[in-house]
Structure 1
Amino acid sequence: MRIPPYYQRPSWQRFFSGMVIGGMISWCIFLYIFGVWQEENAKLIRKQENDIAELKNDIKIWQEDYEELNNRNLGKITIQKINIKIINWEKYKLDEFSVFETEEDVRNDIKMVLAKDLETVAKSKDLIKKIIENKPIKIYDKRYKLKVREMVIFTTLTVELEIQFAE
C-alpha cells in the first residue's frame, strides 16, 4: 500500500499548509485566552483568600469584644421590675384597694433602685429595708407600719411585707 502523491499537487499542499498554519494560530489564540482566563481566576482566588482571612480576623475580634462585654454586663445586671406583696392583710380586715395603694406607695418609695446594677442594690438593701419599715401607713384613720419579711434581689426586686399596727 502506498500513500497517494499529494505532495506534487499545489492545491493539496496549500490545503495542508493552511491546516498546519491555522492549527498553530488557533493553538496560540487558545493559549492566550486560556492564560488570560487563568490569570483572572488566580487574581480572583487570591482576592477572595485575602477577604476570607480578613473576615476571619474580624470575626475573632468581634467575638473577643462580645465575650468581654458579656462578662462586664454579667457583673452589671440591673433591676428591671419591683414586686411588692403584703402577705397578712386579711388579718387586719383590709380591703384589696387599700392594700394595692399601700403596695404602690412602697413601690414609689423604692423605685430609685430601678435600672441600678445588682451589686449596688445588694449593698443598699439595709437602706431599702429602713425606707420601707420607717414609713408609717395610714389606712382608715388607723396607723400601720410595715415589716420586711423577705427580700429577693435579682432582675426583679421582690419584697414580701407584713403589716402591723403602729405603736
Structure 2
Amino acid sequence: MRIPPYHKKPSWERFFAGMIFGAIVTWFFFLFTYGTFQQKQVTLIKEQREHISDLNEQIKLFQNDLYKLNEDNKRKLLIQSVEVNLINAEQYRISQPDRLAIEEEIKDQISEVITKDIESVYQTKEILKRSIENKRFKGDGHDYQVKVEELIIYTRLSVQLRISFAK
C-alpha cells in the first residue's frame, strides 16, 4: 500500500504549513499566558507568605503580652507588702523608737501573709485580727494592747491600729 503524495499539492502544503504555524503561535501564546498566570501566582504566594509571617509575629507578640499581663495579674492578686500604722500613738506619748518597734513587731507577726493570695487572706482576716489584738507590747515601761481599727486587704495589707494601755 502506498501513501498518497500530499507534498506535491500546494493546497495541502499550505494547510500543513498553516497547522504548524498555528501550533507554534498557539504554543507561544500558551507559554505567554501560562507564564503570566504563574508569575501572578508566585507573587501572590510570596505576598501571602509575608502576610502569614507578619501575622505569626503578631501572634507571638500578643501571646507574650498576654503572658506578661497574666503574670502581672497574678502578682497583683498576691499580697506584696504589709503596712502597719498606729493611729493614736501621740495620745499616749509613745516615743518614735518604741512606736517603730511595735509596728515592726506586728509586721513580723503578720509577715506570713506576704505572697499569699488575697482571697485566702480575706477568709482568715478574723484570725489575723485576733492574733494582733491578743498580743501585748512593751514600751516606755508600760504594757500596751492594740485594737484593729481598719484592715484593708489588697496587694498591700494595710492595718490601722488603736493602741491603749493593757488591762
Fold in common (TM above 0.5): yes
Partner of 2:15: none
Unaligned runs of 5+ in 1: 1-27
Deviation at 1:54, TM superposition (A): 5.7
Q: TM-score, normalised by structure 2?
A: 0.64
Partner of 1:25: none
Look up the SS of the partner of 2:90 in the other structure. helix
| Count of aligned positions | 133
In the superposition, relative to structure 1, how do residues 96 and 71 fare at CA in structure 2: closer, same or farther (>3 Å)?
closer
- Residues 9-36 of structure 1: CA distance to partner in whole angstroms, max 9, x if unpaired? xxxxxxxxxxxxxxxxxxx9xx99xx59
Q: Percent of aligned pairs with the same residue?
A: 32
In the superposition, relative to structure 1, how do residues 95 and 123 fare at CA in structure 2: closer, same or farther (>3 Å)?
same
- Residues 68-102 of structure 1: CA distance to partner in whole angstroms, max 9, x if unpaired? x7499469711112111001111211111110111
Runs of 4 or more consecutive aligned structure 1 residues displaced over 6 Å after TM superposition: none
What amino acid sits opposite 2:153 in the alignment?
Answer: I
Range 134-143 or range 102-111, more displaced:
134-143
Spell out the pairing of 1:1-167 with structure 2 (5 A cutoff): 39=39, 42-53=41-52, 55-56=54-55, 59=58, 63=62, 66=66, 70=70, 73=73, 77-167=77-167
Q: TM-score, normalised by structure 1?
A: 0.64
Q: Whole-Å Cα distance in 1 between the matches of residues 75 and 138 of structure 2?
A: 40
Residue pair 1:86, 1:163 contacting (<8 A) in 2 also? yes
Unaligned runs of 5+ in 2: 1-27
Q: Whole-Å Cα distance in 1 between the matches of residues 71 and 139 of structure 2?
A: 47
How large is the RMSD of aligned CA atoms in angstroms? 3.5
